[in-house]
Structure formats: C-alpha cells, structure tokens
Amino acid sequence: MEMPKPNKQVLMRKAHILRRLQDVLPENAVIFEEQEVRAYECDALTAYRCPPMIAVLPSSTEEVSAVLKICHEEDVPVVPRGSGTSLAGGALPTSDCVILGVARMNAVLETNYDDRYIRVQSGRTNLSVTGAVEQNDFFYAPDPSSQLACAIAGNVAMNSGGAHCLKYGVTTNNLLGVKIVMMDGEVVEIGGAYLDSTGLDLLGVICGSEGQLGVVTEATLRILRKPEGARPVLMGFDSNEVAGACVSDIIKAGVLPVAIEFMDRPCVEAVEDFAKAGYPEAEAVLIVEVEGSDAEIDDQLEKIKKIALKHKPVELRESKSEEESAAIWAGRKAAFGAMGRINDYMCLDGTIPVNELPKVLHRIGEMSEKYGLKVANVFHAGDGNMHPLILFDANKPGDLELCEEFGAEVLRLCVEVGGCLTGEHGVGVEKRDLMLTQYSEIDLEAQMKVKDVFDPKWLLNAAKVFPLASSDDRRLI
C-alpha cells in the first residue's frame, strides 16, 4: 500500500512538537516511545502497519482543540482514531503523524427519554450507548458487527451500518448533532436535540467523511423504544438464485423485516464446524427477523413463510423460544470468527441492487474458480450490502496480492451492476485506489473541495479516501 512520503521537516521537529503537546496534555496522555506507539500502528485491517510519530489520548474537547491547534501551526498530519476497529484502514497512521485517540472520552453527557436522544462523548462504544438506556427499554439502532468495541467517533466517521439498518437506517439517519473540532482548533456545534437544520446539511457531509473534516468529540444520537419482541425465521434453499428471488419477493410484498441475512454454503459449513448452530444442509440460508407483539410477529411470519414456500425451501424453521432465536442468530454472529479460524480472509463490503443478487453471486463463484481462492458469502440481503469473505493464506507468498486482485474484481462488478464499493466499512486506504471505478475525477474533485473548506492544509487523515494521485497537489500545500 503506497502512502505519502513522510514530511521530513515534521520528523526533524519531533522533540519540539512533543514538548508542545506535553505542555497542553497530562503526562499519561502523550505516547512517544517507539515501543509504545507501536500499539497504534494499525487498525482491524492488519495487513498494513505503520507506527505513528506520536499518539495522544485527550480527555476533553478542550484538549482535542489544543492538540489540533498545535498540529495545525506545526503542519503535522493528524490521524483520528476511535477504537481502531476499521476494516478499511481508516485509522492507519503515517510515520509523521500524530494519532489522536478519543477512547478516554467515553462519558454519557445527557439522556432524555421524552425527547428520545442521548448525548455522548465520541469515544463511547456503540454497544455501551444502548447499554446506557436499555434499563428503560430504549436502544441505539445502528449495530455494526464490531459494536462491542467500536466507538461512536468511528461510527460517525464511517457512517456505520449493521444488520438492522433495513428498518432503522445507518448512523447518518440516527445522528442529530455533533460537537466537532476543526483542524485549526475551533470548536463548532452542528445540529442538536432537534430535527434537521436550517442551512446546508453539514452534519450530513461530516457523517461518513472518514475523519477528514474534523474531530468529532460529542454526538447527539436518536434513541428508540425497543419493540415488544422480535423473532427470526430460518430458511434454507437449494440455490443462491432462489434465495435471492425469495428476498425480492418478501420486500415486494410490503413486509419490511428488521433484518434479512444471507449465508451461502461455504459460510454455512464453516459456521457449522465452529458454532454448531444446527443450520441445514443447503446452498443458501436466510435469516429473516421481524418485530412487534407476539400476534404481530405471528402475522408477519405467516406472510413471509407463505412467500418462502413458493420457492420450495429445503428447510423452514421458525423460532419458538428465545433459546431457538439465539441459536438461529448464533451461527450468523459467529460467521466472521468461524472463517477466521480456518483461514486468513479479506472481508469485502460492496453493495448491489437487491435484484442483482443471484447474478453477482454467480459471477463471484466463477471468479473464485479463476483465482483458485475460496469465497464465503454472508451479508445483509435486504439492502444489498454484500460481505464476500475471500480466504487466503497470509504465509503463502503472493496469496495476499492475489486475494486483493480478486477483491478488486468483485468490487468492480458491484459498481458495474449499479452498486458501490463500500456499503458500511468505508474507503480508508483499502479501497482508495478503486475510487475511480465508481467516480470520475470531476466527482472526486467535488468531494475534495469539501475537504478544502474544512481542512485547507489537508492535514487530517489526508492519505485516505482519495487516490493519492488525485489528492497529491492538495497534500503538498
């Protein structure tokens, strides 16, 4: 992975920059020893590593502001970091950068059930936002797989999704406001505990900007009352095509399940070995979950089962108890772990129009044969967000490169059928160099103009999202 050459002027002034940062932060908030900064050398995209020059762990918006002001004055690149769970290398450092981690800022600042919002510091983990309100039967809807560890800061940066966003939307649909620190240290409040804004939708463009526009230190999030209940049904089909057609028919029938998850045979087999979830022998397994009272769930599942039966499922298993529901979900939730146990894998995240599902799965199967690498598919079928897992052996020379080539071909296919490179993981460094398959130089120029306004010196996470050749002129300023 090509990264910009480090700024020698910055590296030479490391001692001076360090002193300035130590002046504004407590001693334990500045990390600079070579052994210690190594802890920040990568995120969940572990194939790429680079220790930062310095890492700082501020405890307040004021401290974040002081750090950014210094870095701005000293022309030091800054890479913001939530919990470091990005699968796209969103928090991958450069050797001349300051990693700004918000993990110590994890407080709940305000909870208001009547007005249905919570205000938190951005280092708080996704799951612990729900944790703070669930005693009152509320929850925060976006539920990325990494929700136990991932921070709201990263969720906002990547506009994270999850299994339940078919019904509840992704982060941007549940974010009401932010406190953001601009690269020059200015603190700006955008949005709040009310709906929409009167001017340009700055909140909308900040969410999903991969930490390139500012450092979000606080977020106001919409919380929702939990439904009375939820129950999944599991279906097995003897081909991906039939399963895909069943998904289309369910959606067309006017039933909007809260989640529709899809697993193909390789995935189901790996999951069975690992989690023993009792999944059927089938080419494709769907998990469809609906919410409501018991009677409402019965009613919706009746409709769904009727549709499924038309597609002659090899198995149709409705949960009868909480234990059975948990068992149905256990396999899906263990899918990534199960794959990780048998192989190294690369997780793709392209999204396609739902009706293209059978065709795309077929093409991925052909590519798998061509490259000689196995693929397991597990994904959010309701919204077309695929997660093909390409298996490779990191110890085998050339396998990673082959896998990346395969991955790129899959993503190009996603774009070709009307979809996109990434549905919820973000571009980061991983898909940076594929951006021109989806967007023209002019389209990217428009996006980069937004960064010009927020971060004129291009210091914030600047080696991400845009192909280096496209952003070169800006970063050299």
Partner 1 sequence: MILSTEKGVAQYVSDANANGRKLRIQGGGTRQALGNPCQSNAVLSTAGLNNISLYEPSALTIVAASGTPLADIEKELLAEGQRLPFEPMDHRGLLGSTGTPTIGGVVACNISGPARIQAGACRDSLIGIRMVDGTGAVIKNGGRVMKNVTGYDLVKLMAGSFGTLGVLTEVAFKVLPAPETSATVLVEGLSDEQAIAAMSAGLTAPYGVSGAAHISKDRTTLIRVEGFEKSVAYRVSQLQSVLAPLGEASIVSNDNLWKSVRDVEPFHALDTAVWRISVPPSDGAKVAKTLEASNDTVQIIYDWGGGLIWASTPDDLDVRAALNGISGYAECVRGTHIKRLPQNAAIARIEKGLRAKFDPNGILNAGIMG
Q: Are 61 and 217 in contact (CB under 8 A)?
A: yes
The residue type of 307 is I
Q: According to the binding rule CB under 8 A, does residue 79 interact with partner 1?
A: no
User: Which of these ranges, 63-71, 118-126, 257-265, 437-445, lies near partner 1 under the rule CB under 8 A?
Assistant: 437-445
Of the candidates 93, 92, 97, 94, the one whose C-alpha atom is nearest the C-alpha of residue 71 is 97
- Closest approach, Cβ 93 to partner 1, in A, equals 21
Cα 39 from Cα 60, distance rounded (Å): 22
> In this complex, which beta carbon is closest to partner 1, that of residue 15 or of residue 195?
195
- Closest approach, Cβ 362 to partner 1, in A, equals 18
Q: According to the binding rule CB under 8 A, does residue 140 interact with partner 1?
A: no
Span 392-421, contacts to partner 1 by CB under 8 A: 418-421
> Site for partner 1 (CB under 8 A): which residue of 435, 459, 460, 462?
435
Span 289-328, contacts to partner 1 by CB under 8 A: 292-293, 295-296, 299-300
Helices (H), 164-216: 165-168, 171-174, 202-206
Q: According to the binding rule CB under 8 A, does residue 467 interact with partner 1?
A: no
* Contact partners, residue 339, CB within 8 Å, separation at least 6: 267, 270, 345, 376, 389, 391
Between the two ends of the chain, the Cα-to-Cα distance in Å is 23
Cα 174 from Cα 276, distance rounded (Å): 35
Q: According to the binding rule CB under 8 A, does residue 112 interact with partner 1?
A: yes
Span 198-237, contacts to partner 1 by CB under 8 A: 198-205, 207-209, 225-228
Residue 342: φ, ψ to 5°: -90, -20
- Closest approach, Cβ 218 to partner 1, in A, equals 13
Place of tokens 């192909």: 467
> Site for partner 1 (CB under 8 A): which residue of 80, 154, 384, 407?
384
Q: According to the binding rule CB under 8 A, does residue 439 interact with partner 1?
A: yes
Q: According to the binding rule CB under 8 A, does residue 438 interact with partner 1?
A: yes
Size of the site for partner 1 (CB under 8 A): 93
Tokens found for residue 469: 């050749």
Q: According to the binding rule CB under 8 A, does residue 252 interact with partner 1?
A: yes
Q: According to the binding rule CB under 8 A, does residue 341 interact with partner 1?
A: no
Q: Are 428 and 465 in contact (CB under 8 A)?
A: yes
> Site for partner 1 (CB under 8 A): which residue of 249, 269, 399, 433?
249
Is 33 exposed, middle or buried, given 0-12, 13-18 or 19+ CB atoms closer than 10 A? exposed
Span 155-194, contacts to partner 1 by CB under 8 A: 158-159, 161, 165, 169-170, 172-173, 186, 188-190, 192-194
